Every structure is written in structure tokens, then in C-alpha cells.
């Protein structure tokens, strides 16, 4: 190797090491919250009772610190301050959810609560006036208790009432809101609730209710999508999608069984929702239908516990999204784990998998950015490279430290992985949303689990917000648009 070649090589190496990853112009950054987790004002100004209000008040043991969201971060009163925090960070958009019972106190579209409408109008206007795009989730786990009393998501007609609610919200706010998410994480609100019996509504029905819930959720989503298409798209011109939570499942070993189990884990937790909407079949993944049908038969059920869609329902669900919202947190090693037929069905047994994390993963088992890149590639390959918005990604700690260096690392390496997926793999990802702007009420973990860029003092009546160093890091990343 001659001298010049050597110098050239050194320069190339230096350049590849030092050139920071550029973030494309079109790519947007935001933060997320949900109504129950931050708003408080649980019964303020005519708001009706949701399943989380009911659950926390009636089964306080269902939350580890026996807390509830009655006040939470008090965003119901502190929304102006929150918008200033968002503006300070410089986000392009903020994703938040609307509380169904703040708009429709008894769940039904017959009576709209003007104070609830005013709250969201104020909040949306404040965001828009500060150049922050509002991105709105219609349902983030807070079903009206009145509808729960009718069976909640296991009752297919809840899909009709969801459509009625959605139409009212589109009508009220759609002049300013151009990105809508119908449902957040149906896997969580069906599986955690009905499958494991954790959280609201305190109903357990593993292996049966969990699938009824899933069917209604997909129908509800599709109905809202088509209502927008029919009545609002022409005048409002927005996009409507759904947010699904997806892990990455890496095979535990290279055995055929484990490779199949890892694929099955993704198909049955993520494909369950994405396949009906984004695939050409408009139906559940074949492996899911086949496995639940077979286990149901061996358990002596006369029909599959996974209820089938009618042909007309498949037509309605297929293609019913303008984008796929993706919530991603974790990567797992997944292998096969078949359970014997014992007459006690469950979604877990239907999947026939087991999972754990590798303690040696760097930088840590909770920070596995290559898993997200692989998941984005899986989506691209399987569903013709749909438009993806990452609607949640976040780092959990229990200390609440302001010196949250792990969270800073997390944000950097995950955004870097997303940029690799975009630039090197041509995945059609256009947004990255950090969960969450504030420490909040994390469902059954109450206030013990911290995801925020801002610390919230839940002991103070002021709910004082204090930036962590991750807030500064995220702000700089957005401003410099490079990693
Ligand atoms: C709201 O609930 C609180 C308890 O959390 C109660 O003290 C208060 O009276 C209720 N307010 C209304 C308007 O019902
Ligand atoms: C599986 O095989 C690949 C390619 O040969 C190898 O890189 C990987 O480490 C193997 N995985 C396991 C868990 O053995
Ligand atoms: C299903 O029915 C068969 C025949 O009656 C019986 O032997 C078997 O134990 C039943 N299985 C379960 C899981 O109930
Ligand atoms: C913050 O944490 C890092 C690494 O954990 C440590 O090196 C640094 O000294 C800490 N800074 C402060 C101000 O405590
Ligand atoms: C709450 O905020 C007010 C106004 O900023 C301040 O006067 C008061 O001392 C604060 N109280 C606490 C407990 O932090």
C-alpha cells in the first residue's frame, strides 16, 4: 500500500467515524402523553367516569402504589405551562389523547359536555399558536364506564358507539387536527386486561374475552376510519391511522422451532392487528387462525375462540389506515414453549412461546436499538413498506433522577437506528415520538415508573415540573438535526 492510498484510507475512515448522521428534512420529532395519565380533573366540569376512574377507586390494590389519576400531572389546569415546555424543547408535534367521557360524559353521543370541548379547544389552539402540530389519539384505554357495564370491548356493538364518538371529535377539532390515531395499543387493552386480568376494567377472560376485545377493536377502528373518509376527509384533509405496540423477537437459538416461535410471537402480538389492516388478506395472520382453531378444538370448544370476521367486515378493515403508528419499547429472545391442553385456554398458550432478555446486551438489555431497526424492516417487507410513524419509544427508570444519562443514550441510539432504517434500508418512517414529556401515571405501576423528559413533583400541589438532562439532549438533537 503506497503512501497516498494510506492517507486516503485514513481520511475515509475518519470521515465515516466523524460525519454525524444527518436527519432528513421531512422527518419530524414529537412527544406523547395520554389523557388519563396526565390530565387529572377526573370529575371536573361534567366529566363522566371512565374505566380507569372506576377501577382505581374500587380496586385500589390494582395499582402498585395504590394511586390513581384523579389529579395526575394536573395538565387539566397546567396545559399552558405544558405547551411552553413543549415549545422549549422544540417539538414539531405533540401526541395526546382525548378523554371520551370529558366530551361525552355518559359515553353516548346524545350529550356533549361544553366544558370538555372548551378544554381541548384551548389546548389545541395553544399548541397551534405555538407552532406545535396536535396529533390526537381518540382512545387511550379510558372507556366510559357506562359502556363497560355493557361488556366493554367484548361487546361488538361498542364499535358503533366508538364511531359515533369519533365523528363528534372529528367534527369538533378536525379543522386544526390533521393526524388522528383511532386506538392506542389494542394488544395492551385487550391482552393485559382480559388476558391477564390486570388493570381496568378488572375482568379476566384469558383465551376468549381477549379475542372478542380484539375483534371489536379492529371493527371500531375501521368504522372510525370510514366515517372520516365519508364525511370529513374532503373538507379536512387529514390522515387517520392506528397505533400498535410491537416488540422485536429475536430467535433464542438457531433451531427451526425457535426461529418459527420468534416469527409467531411477532405475528400473534403485532400481526394480529397489522395484518387485517395492512395485508392483502384483510384477516388475522394464518398462523394465528390455525393455532387458536386447533387448540380450541382439542379443548372441545365447538368453534374457534378466535371469532371470524364476516366477508363484509374484512372488506371494511382491509386498507383502513393512512399510516401505521408504532409503539416500540423492547427486544426479547424468543423460543418455543408448547403447553399441554389442560382445558384452561389462554393467549399465551395459543402462542406457544417463551421469552427472556440477554443480560449481556449492550448498552443494556433495555436499550436494544437494532431490535427496532429489524422490526421496521419486518414491517417494510411484510406490508409493502407502509408509512410508519413511531408514536411511542421511551426509557423507563424507577429512580426519577434528573441526571438521566441512560435516557439520553437511549434516545440517541434509538433515533440512530431509525435513521439507519430510513437511509440504509429505505423504510418509510417519517416521525419519532418520545414517550413521555412528563413523568406520569403509568397504569398499574402508578407513579413508580418514570419515562419523562421532565420530572414532576407529585407530592407538591403545584405538580412542579423540572427538566432532566434528557430534555436538554432531545432539544439539542431536534435543533441540530444530527446525531
Ligand atoms: C370530585 O371528586 C372528589 C374526590 O376525588 C370529590 O371530593 C369532589 O366533590 C368531586 N367533585 C365533583 C364535582 O363531583
Ligand atoms: C445463528 O446463526 C447466525 C449465523 O450463522 C449467528 O450469527 C448467530 O449467532 C446464531 N444465533 C444463535 C443464537 O446461535
Ligand atoms: C375433550 O373431550 C374428550 C372426549 O370426551 C375428553 O376425553 C377430553 O378430556 C376433553 N378435553 C378437555 C380439555 O376437556
Ligand atoms: C451524572 O451521571 C453521570 C454518569 O452516571 C456522572 O458521570 C456524572 O458525574 C453525573 N452528573 C452529576 C451532575 O451528578
Ligand atoms: C406553588 O406555586 C406557587 C406559585 O408559583 C408558589 O407560591 C408556592 O410556594 C408553590 N408551592 C409549593 C408547595 O411548591
Give pLDDT, residue 8.
47
Looking at residue 18, its pLDDT comes to 54
Residue 261 is part of which domain span? 22-480
Phi (first) and psi of residue 436, to 5 degrees: -140, 165
d(CA 28, CA 407): 20
Ligand nearest to the CA of 253: 2
Examine residue 46 and state whether it is found in any structural domain, yes or no. yes
Coil vs helix vs strand at 104: coil
**30: β partners:** 93, 433
Kindly identify the ligand whose nearest atom is closest to the C-alpha of 49: 1
Q: Is 46 left (phi over 0), alpha (psi -120 to 50) or beta?
A: left
- Among the listed residues 191, 267, 392, 442, the single catalytic one is 392
pLDDT at residue 19 in the model: 63
Q: Which residues have C-beta within 8 Å of that of residue 215, sequence separation ≥ 6?
A: 156, 307, 309
Q: How far away, in angstroms, is 402 Cα from ligand 4 center? A: 10
218 within domain boundaries:
yes
In this structure, is residue 116 part of a structural domain?
Answer: yes
Options 49, 185, 265, 267, the catalytic residue? 185
Centroid of ligand 3 to alpha carbon of 300 (angstroms): 6
* Res 45: pLDDT: 96
CB 357 within 8 A of CB 331: yes
- Dump strand ranges (E) for 225-296: 239-245, 248-251
Query: Does the beta carbon of 253 sit less than 6 angstroms from any atom of ligand 2?
Result: yes
Strand-pairing partners, residue 431, are 28, 389
**Closest-lying ligand 3 atom to the alpha carbon of residue 341:** 13
Task: Examine the residue annotation and report whether 185 is marked as an active-site residue of this protein.
Answer: yes
- Per the annotation, the verdict on 39 as an active-site residue is no
Structural domain includes residue 88: yes
Ligand 3: does its nearest atom lie under 6 Å from the Cβ of 343? Answer: yes
7 is a domain residue: no
Confidence at residue 6, expressed as pLDDT on a 0 to 100 scale: 47
The reply to whether 220 falls in a domain is: yes
User: Residue 123: which CATH number?
Assistant: 3.20.20.80
**Domains of the chain: total:** 1
* Nearest alpha carbon, ligand 4 atom 4: 405
Is the whole-model pTM more than 0.85? yes
Q: What is the pLDDT of residue 22?
A: 86
- Weakly modelled stretches of the chain, pLDDT under 50: 1, 4-15
Pick the residue whose CA is nearest to atom 8 on ligand 1: 43
456 located within any domain: yes
Mutate to test the pocket of ligand 4, among 405, 406, 469 (most ligand atoms within 8 A of CB): 405
Strand partners, 466: 455
Report how far ligand 1's centroid is from the alpha carbon of 100 (Å). 19
Whole-number Å distance between alpha carbons of 450 and 442: 8
C-alpha cell at 23: 436527519
Structure-block grid coordinates of residue 471: 430534555
Residue 17 inside a domain? The answer is no
DSSP per-residue letters across 368-401: -HHHHHHHHHHHHHHTTS--EEEEE----BSS--
Amino acid at each position: 500500500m503506497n503512501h497516498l492510498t494510506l492517507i486516503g484510507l485514513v481520511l475515509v475512515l475518519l470521515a465515516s467515524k466523524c460525519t454525524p448522521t444527518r436527519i432528513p428534512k421531512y422527518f419530524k420529532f414529537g412527544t406523547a402523553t395520554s389523557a388519563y395519565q396526565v390530565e387529572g380533573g377526573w370529575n371536573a366540569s361534567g366529566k363522566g367516569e371512565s374505566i380507569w376512574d372506576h377501577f382505581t377507586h374500587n380496586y385500589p390494590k390494582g395499582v402498585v402504589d395504590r394511586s390513581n389519576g384523579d389529579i395526575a400531572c394536573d395538565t387539566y389546569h397546567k396545559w399552558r405551562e405544558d405547551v411552553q415546555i413543549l415549545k422549549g424543547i422544540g417539538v414539531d408535534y405533540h401526541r395526546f389523547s382525548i378523554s371520551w367521557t370529558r366530551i361525552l360524559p355518559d359515553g353516548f353521543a346524545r350529550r356533549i359536555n361544553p366544558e370538555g370541548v372548551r378544554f381541548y379547544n384551548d389546548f389545541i389552539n395553544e399548541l397551534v399558536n405555538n407552532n406545535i402540530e396536535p396529533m390526537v389519539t381518540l382512545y387511550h384505554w379510558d372507556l366510559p364506564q357506562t359502556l363497560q357495564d355493557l361488556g366493554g370491548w367484548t361487546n361488538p356493538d361498542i364499535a358503533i358507539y366508538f364511531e359515533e364518538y369519533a365523528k363528534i371529535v372529528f367534527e369538533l377539532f378536525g379543522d386544526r387536527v390533521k393526524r388522528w390515531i383511532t386506538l392506542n395499543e389494542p394488544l395492551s387493552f385487550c391482552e393485559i386486561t382480559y388476558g391477564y386480568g390486570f388493570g381496568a376494567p378488572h375482568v379476566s377472560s384469558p383465551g376468549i374475552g381477549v379475542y372478542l376485545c380484539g375483534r371489536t377493536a379492529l371493527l371500531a377502528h375501521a368504522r372510525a376510519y370510514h366515517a372520516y373518509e365519508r364525511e370529513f376527509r374532503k373538507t379536512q384533509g387529514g390522515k387517520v391511522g392506528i397505533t400498535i405496540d410491537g416488540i422485536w423477537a429475536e430467535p433464542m437459538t438457531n433451531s427451526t422451532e425457535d426461529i418459527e416461535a420468534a416469527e409467531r410471537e411477532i405475528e400473534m402480538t403485532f400481526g394480529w392487528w397489522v395484518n387485517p389492516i395492512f395485508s392483502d388478506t384483510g384477516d388475522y395472520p394464518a398462523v394465528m387462525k390455525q393455532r387458536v382453531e386447533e387448540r380450541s378444538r382439542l379443548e372441545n370448544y365447538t368453534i374457534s375462540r378466535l371469532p371470524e370476521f364476516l366477508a363484509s367486515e374484512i372488506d371494511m378493515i382491509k386498507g383502513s389506515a393512512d399510516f401505521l403508528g408504532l409503539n416500540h419499547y423492547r427486544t426479547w429472545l424468543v423460543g418455543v414453549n408448547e403447553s399441554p391442553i389442560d382445558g384452561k385456554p389462554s393467549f399465551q398458550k395459543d402462542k406457544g412461546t417463551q421469552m427472556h432478555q440477554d443480560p449481556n446486551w449492550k448498552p443494556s438489555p433495555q436499550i436494544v436499538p437494532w431490535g427496532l431497526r429489524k422490526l421496521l424492516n419486518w414491517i417494510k417487507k411484510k406490508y409493502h413498506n407502509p408509512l410508519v410513524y413511531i408514536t411511542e419509544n421511551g426509557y423507563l427508570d424507577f429512580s426519577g433522577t434528573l441526571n438521566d444519562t441512560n435516557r439520553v443514550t437511549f434516545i440517541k441510539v434509538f433515533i440512530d437506528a431509525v435513521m439507519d432504517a430510513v437511509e440504509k434500508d429505505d423504510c418509510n418512517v417519517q416521525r419519532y415520538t418520545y414517550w413521555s414529556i412528563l413523568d406520569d401515571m403509568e397504569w398499574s405501576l402508578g407513579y413508580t415508573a418514570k419515562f419523562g423528559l421532565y420530572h414532576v413533583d407529585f407530592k407538591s400541589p403545584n405538580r412542579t415540573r423540572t427538566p432532566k438532562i434528557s430534555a436538554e439532549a432531545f432539544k439539542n438533537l431536534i435543533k441540530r438535526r444530527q446525531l
